[in-house]
Each structure stands twice: as structure tokens, then as C-alpha cells.
Amino acid sequence: MSKLFDINLNRLVVFTAVVETGSITAAAKRLGLAKTMVSAHMQKLEAEIGSHLLVRTTRRLHLTEAGTLFYEACQKILLDTENAITQASSNTQQLRGKLRISTSIDFGASVIAPLTAELARQHPELRIEILSSDERVDMVSAGIDVAIRIGRLADSSHRAALIAYFEDWLVAHPSVLQGEMPRSPQDVAELPFVGLSVLPNPTYWTFTQAGSSSQSLRFNASVMANTASAVKAAVLAGAGMMVHPDIFVREEVAAGRLVRLLPEWSLPGGGIYAVYPQSVQRSQKVSVLIEALKARYA
């Protein structure tokens, strides 16, 4: 029977990464190690324990019965260790290590990058990595500490912290309007529209007015783009109107560069959320980022 001092406990981290990512290659990418090193760690861990943990096929790795039990134990060990480290370091304000943040391209450039620059100045030993993409990433396999998601949060096994709510506004370039301001959704049905193609239904919107029934419209988009910044740039250039979170267009509306249409009617709206894996205790690094974001939108 193996004794504790016979086992390199660092291999528990490697083993957990292999199980959660599903392959040696993906685990190596997540951990920043060579594929051969990850494979060697797994072989040595099985030798140290004296039991096979994984069954290797051409397509994927599968846990043995012993591997399943060992993985459940490793999860608890690593979580307890992380909690102990967090508690031990709770009396210091200095953050250390890597913080990997997943965000959309637009939000990453306009909000996260400037915010993390300030965090980096405050915490010189903190290493921040921003991964910007308008596609949803697998947080566990990519080794993401926190993902910033905007809109209506889908059901998932992850935890989420609300940063701020926002309203959706229908806004347009002043040149698009002809004559009187529109009073109802039907008045804007034929105006040129710019849509965000990554949304499930980018041209279909439901307007609601207090004391009135809802009205749904399907706009005929003259322009479609896959990033919010491209949509906004097209509208500012006079391409038409768009539906956009109020927090990102208030400045342009106040300056007269955009006009808010149908302010008496409301659109669904949504929220800005910080999402982090369910199986991981929220770290001090993630908490500091969340509080900084909340302060920005307070």
C-alpha cells in the first residue's frame, strides 16, 4: 500500500486537469506544460498509487472505477487546499498568481482591459490574461477563472455574480429620422436596421408599454455584424437604428450623436454577470475583479 510521502501531490492537479479536459493534450494546454510531461506525470502517479486510473482510447480518456473514486477525492483535496490558502492570505491585500478572464471582444476592449490595467498597478505580482471571443468557451477545459457574460444568463452548472442590470434601448442616427418622432413600434418597422448576428434572433424584438399590450416586430436588417462595436459604428455612420444596452450608448445619446426612439416602450434588457466554475471556491482575485466591476457600474 502506497504511503503519502511516496506520492508527488502535484500530480493530483495534473490528474484533475486531464479528467476535466478529457485529454492529455488539452490538459497540457490548460496547465502550460509539455504534453510529454503531462503523460509522464500520469504514468508516475499510477505507479505511485499502484492502480490504473485511466483507460486510454484513440479518441478519449475514460476513468476506471478506481479513477472515478480517486478523482472525487482529488476534487475535495484541491478545494480544501485552495480554501486554506485563501484563508491564510486573507489578511494581505497583495494578490499573486494568474487570473484568466474570458470576455466578449467589445467588452474586453472597452471595459475589462482598462480595469485590469488598474488592478495590475495595484497588485504588481498579479498576472492577468484576457481571452476575448464572442463565442462561449468551456471554462473548465480552458482553465478560465472568471467569464464576463452580458444578456440573459443561461442555465448552467456555474456560479454567477450579478454586476449590473441594463435596459435595451432602440437608438438611431439622427439622419435616419424623417419628420415627427415615432410614437409606436409600428412607426419604426420600415426604418433601416443594423443587427448583431451572434444573437439568437437579432432582428426580432418585443416592445412593451405600461398599461398596453406588447408589440413584436421583425426588422428587415440592411446591415448585419458579428460584434457590437461594428453594429454601433455602422449606426453612428448613419446606417440605421439598433437595439443596444443603455450603458453603452448613454454618452452618445446625451451628446446628440444618437437619438433614443420610443422611450415610453421597454425592451427585455438583461444583466452583466461574472461567472465562475461551480466546483471552484471563488478566489480573492476573482472577488477583487467583481467588486471593481460593481464599483464601475454603481
- What CATH number did the domain enclosing 58 receive? 1.10.10.10
Q: What are phi and psi of 35, to 5 degrees?
A: -60, -40
18-66 per-position pLDDT tens digit: 988 888 888 888 888 899 999 999 999 998 888 899 987 766 788 899 9
Q: What is the DSSP string of 264-295?
A: TSB---EEEEEEE-TTSPPPHHHHHHHHHHHH
> What is the number of other CB atoms lying within 10 angstroms of the CB of residue 201?
9
Does residue 241 have a pLDDT over 70? yes
Query: Across all residues in the chain, what is the average pLDDT?
Result: 86
What domain range includes position 56?
A: 4-88
Whether residues 254 and 200 fall in one domain: yes
Does residue 90 have a pLDDT over 60? no
Amino acid at 6: D
61-83 per-position pLDDT tens digit: 888 999 999 988 888 888 778 76
Q: Do 220 and 99 touch, CB atoms closer than 8 A?
A: no
Whether residues 8 and 77 fall in one domain: yes
Whether residues 193 and 68 fall in one domain: no
Whether residues 178 and 261 fall in one domain: yes
Whether residues 78 and 127 fall in one domain: no
Whether residues 107 and 59 fall in one domain: no
Buried b / exposed e over 10-39, threshold 16 CB at 10 Å, is ebbbbbbbbbbbbbbebbbbbbebeeeebb
Whether residues 51 and 198 fall in one domain: no
Handedness of CA 281, 284, 286, 292 (dihedral sign): positive
Most confident range (mean pLDDT) of 87-101, 162-176, 268-282 is 162-176
Q: Do 150 and 107 touch, CB atoms closer than 8 A?
A: yes
Q: Of 65, 88, 111, which residue sits at a domain end?
A: 88
The total number of structural domains that make up the chain: 3
Whether residues 156 and 233 fall in one domain: no
194-212 per-position pLDDT tens digit: 999 988 899 999 999 877 7
Determine which of 117-126, 140-149, 192-201 has the lowest per-residue pLDDT on average: 140-149
d(CA 163, CA 276): 13
The pLDDT value recorded for residue 80 is 78
Q: Which ranges in the chain belong to alpha helices (H)? A: 10-21, 24-31, 35-49, 65-88, 105-107, 113-122, 139-142, 228-236, 250-255, 284-296
Whether residues 175 and 247 fall in one domain: yes
SS3 content of the chain, % helix, strand, coil (to 5): 40, 25, 35
Determine which of 131-140, 240-249, 254-263 has the lowest per-residue pLDDT on average: 131-140
Specify the residue for cell string 472505477. Answer: 65
Whether residues 183 and 36 fall in one domain: no
Using CB atoms within 10 Å of the CB of residue 131, give its burial: 0 to 12 exposed, 13 to 18 middle, 19+ buried: middle
Whether residues 280 and 258 fall in one domain: no
**CATH number for the domain that contains residue 141:** 3.40.190.10
Which cell numbers in the block locate residue 201? 434572433
Q: Of 88, 110, 137, which residue sits at a domain end?
A: 88
What confidence tier does 233 reach under pLDDT thresholds 50, 70, 90? very high
**CATH number for the domain that contains residue 173:** 3.40.190.290
Span between the terminal Cα atoms of the chain, in Å: 57
Whether residues 102 and 233 fall in one domain: no
